[in-house]
């Protein structure tokens, strides 16, 4: 195997591991004290942003998993109760603000992931890993997995740059 091919495969493996971690991390609010489900602290790009300056590649790849999770959260049927984003000690955002909050963080996650994939020098393969991860996550966890199509359109638009 060429060095370049080995580095690409290593980047893909790292991406898959960190995407998987990023998929699970937003729901840590369900067992962390003082946080409610859909906490703004865990359902945002806060964690990837905190590690971005020191470790930009892992931060961006982790953000990819967060982005997929937040895209799924945007599929709530009713924007009440658990669907609303919670601000610790301040209550919940309303339905519109919750949707905007999740969408803005989803967009930021895609930008961070794109930056990381470019930094890794494996933009195409890492976006394929992202799309495959999103497809598997949506197929397993969401009844409306066809709504993954808009996310894939965004990925294709980002790849054209």
- pTM equals 0.87
Q: Is 18 helix (H, G, I), strand (E, B) or coil?
A: helix
Per-residue pLDDT of the chain (161 residues; tens, 9 = 90+): 345 888 889 999 999 999 999 999 999 888 888 788 899 899 999 999 999 999 999 999 999 999 999 999 988 878 877 889 999 888 899 999 999 999 999 999 999 999 999 999 999 899 989 988 988 888 888 766 666 666 666 667 666 66
The domain total for the chain is 1
Q: Considering the domain boundaries, does residue 5 fall inside one?
A: no
- Report if residue 31 sits inside a domain: no
Is residue 152 in some structural domain? yes
Residue in 79, 75, 106, 105 with CA at minimum distance from that of residue 93: 79
Is 149 within the bounds of a domain?
A: yes
110 lies in which domain range? Answer: 41-160
Q: Establish if 156 belongs to a structural domain.
A: yes
Which residues are 87's β-sheet partners? 91
């Amino acid at each position: 195997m060429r060095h370049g091919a080995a580095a690409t495969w290593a980047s893909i493996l790292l991406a898959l591991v960190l995407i998987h971690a990023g998929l699970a991390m937003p729901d840590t609010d369900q067992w962390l004290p003082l946080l409610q489900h859909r906490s703004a602290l865990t359902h945002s790009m806060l964690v990837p942003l905190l590690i971005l300056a020191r470790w930009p590649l892992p931060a961006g790849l982790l953000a990819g998993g967060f982005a997929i999770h937040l895209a799924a959260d945007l599929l709530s049927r009713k924007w009440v109760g658990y669907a609303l984003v919670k601000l610790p000690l301040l209550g919940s955002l309303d339905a519109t603000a919750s949707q905007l909050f999740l969408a803005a963080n989803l967009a930021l996650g895609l930008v961070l992931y794109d930056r990381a994939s470019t930094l890794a020098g494996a933009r195409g393969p890492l976006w394929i890993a992202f799309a495959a991860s999103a497809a598997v996550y949506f197929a397993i966890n969401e009844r409306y997995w066809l709504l993954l199509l808009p996310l894939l359109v965004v990925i294709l638009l980002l790849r054209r740059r």
